[in-house]
């Protein structure tokens, strides 16, 4: 699982910082999460292939999270894309894109599917044989969802020594990996746990931005491998965080601790701070495993 941060700053794009966008690579699928202005250039800079992006998840309709979407959709069209593109985002996003395509007398040669979200409960928005994506309802000034990306539990892993010792034919291997016990020719039944190891533990990634501090998300993100939680402010700006329905670094760390996540990544920093190191320091007073998102940085898990 690999996460590339295209942008992780709040509010306005600047010369050296970009609004929210990131790419999650999980089980060889690429998911684009949020799409602030300049995302297509950030994708190019980070050498991420446009053609591999088939699913875009938009958390909410504040500009720093979606103003780059129409440009991305248009560029895909100009470059002759033919593969379907799926957009998951709040109700209204289709109207915004459709209106701009209509008024520019443009269209896409590929199919554009909008999956508009309205539910205040967590819902499954994407599922295939290896990955499932659910919404994480967040509390912000407009309707907002985080997204939980989960690998599905894989096959059990074959214990090669064991299957050789029992002289089991290769044609049974897939059944064994699927969890079946095996009956030998002499009638003995070998229970599956003697032939396999546990599957590789599935990885999971929870993207939570933008949101005020809310313990209601904890049951949804409990035990995830990586939690990206916004920390627009430091605790010194707690009042401002409450007023604007954002979180502080300390609050993000509290959520990480209570949800027992393995790794916390902070981001969505207000541009008022000269350095982001202070966010890490503040969060580490609560929770030890803290990483800082930075534009252009990749994390592998």
CB-CB contact of 220 with 147 (8 Å): no
Q: Is 37 in the site for a second copy (CB under 8 A)?
A: yes
Distance CA 196, CA 244 (A): 52
60 among the known binding-site residues?
A: yes
The least distance separating a second copy from the CB of residue 101, rounded to whole angstroms, comes to 9
Q: Is 141 in the site for a second copy (CB under 8 A)?
A: yes
Distances (CA, A) of 239 to 139, 221, 236, 244, 255: 16, 26, 8, 9, 18
140 among the known binding-site residues?
A: yes
Q: Is 4 in the site for a second copy (CB under 8 A)?
A: no
CB under 8 A: which stretch of 41-49, 127-135, 217-225, 274-282 binds a second copy? 41-49
The least distance separating a second copy from the CB of residue 102, rounded to whole angstroms, comes to 8
> At how many degrees (to 10) do helices 93-103 and 69-78 cross?
50
DSSP for 191-228, written as a single string: PGGGTEEPPPPPPEEEEE-S----GGGHHHHTT-SEEE
Nearest to a second copy of 17, 192 (CB atom): 17
**Residue 163 burial by Cβ neighbours in a 10 Å radius (0-12, 13-18, 19+):** buried
φ/ψ of 266, rounded to 5, equals -95, 155
Q: Is 244 in the site for a second copy (CB under 8 A)?
A: no
268 among the known binding-site residues?
A: yes
128 among the known binding-site residues?
A: no
φ/ψ of 254, rounded to 5, equals -60, -45
The catalytically annotated residue of 64, 98, 128, 159 is: 64
Distance CA 31, CA 28 (A): 10
65 among the known binding-site residues?
A: yes
Q: Which of the residues 54 through 113 are near a second copy (CB under 8 A)? A: 61-63, 67-68, 70-71, 74-75, 78-79, 90, 92-93, 95-96, 99-100, 103-106
- Helix or strand run (H / E) with residue 280: helix 277-284
Is 64 an active-site residue? Answer: yes
> Could you give the residue numbers annotated as active site?
64
Residues near a second copy (CB under 8 A): 11-15, 37-38, 40-41, 44-45, 61-63, 67-68, 70-71, 74-75, 78-79, 90, 92-93, 95-96, 99-100, 103-106, 141-142
Residues comprising the binding site for Zn(2+)? 60, 62, 64-65, 140, 210, 268
């Amino acid at each position: 699982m690999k996460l590339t941060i295209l942008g992780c700053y709040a509010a306005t794009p600047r010369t050296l910082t970009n609004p929210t966008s990131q790419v999650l690579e999980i089980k060889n699928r690429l998911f684009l999460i949020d799409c602030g202005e300049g995302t297509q250039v950030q994708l190019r800079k980070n050498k991420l292939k446009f053609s591999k992006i088939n699913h875009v998840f938009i958390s909410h309709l504040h500009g720093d999270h979606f103003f780059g979407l129409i440009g991305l959709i248009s560029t895909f069209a100009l470059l002759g894309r033919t593969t379907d593109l799926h957009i998951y985002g709040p109700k209204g996003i289709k109207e915004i894109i459709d209106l701009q395509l209509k008024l520019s007398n443009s269209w896409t040669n590929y199919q554009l599917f909008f999956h508009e979200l309205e539910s205040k409960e967590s819902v499954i928005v994407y599922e295939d044989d290896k990955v499932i994506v659910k919404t994480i309802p967040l509390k912000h000034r407009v309707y907002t969802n985080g997204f939980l990306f989960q690998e599905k539990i894989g096959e059990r892993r074959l214990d090669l020594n064991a299957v050789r010792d029992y002289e089991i034919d290769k044609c049974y291997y897939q059944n064994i990996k699927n969890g079946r016990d095996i009956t030998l020719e002499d009638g003995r039944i070998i229970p599956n746990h003697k032939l396999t190891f546990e599957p590789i533990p599935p990885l999971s990634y929870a993207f939570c931005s933008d949101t005020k501090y809310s313990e209601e998300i904890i049951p949804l993100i409990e035990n995830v491998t990586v939690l990206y939680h916004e920390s627009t402010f430091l605790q010194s700006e707690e009042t401002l965080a409450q007023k604007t329905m954002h979180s502080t670094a300390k609050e993000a760390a509290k959520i990480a601790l209570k949800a027992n996540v393995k790794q916390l990544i902070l981001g969505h920093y207000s541009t008022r701070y000269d350095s982001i190191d202070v966010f890490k320091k503040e969060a580490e007073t609560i929770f030890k495993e803290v990483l800082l998102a930075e534009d252009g940085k990749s994390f592998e898990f």
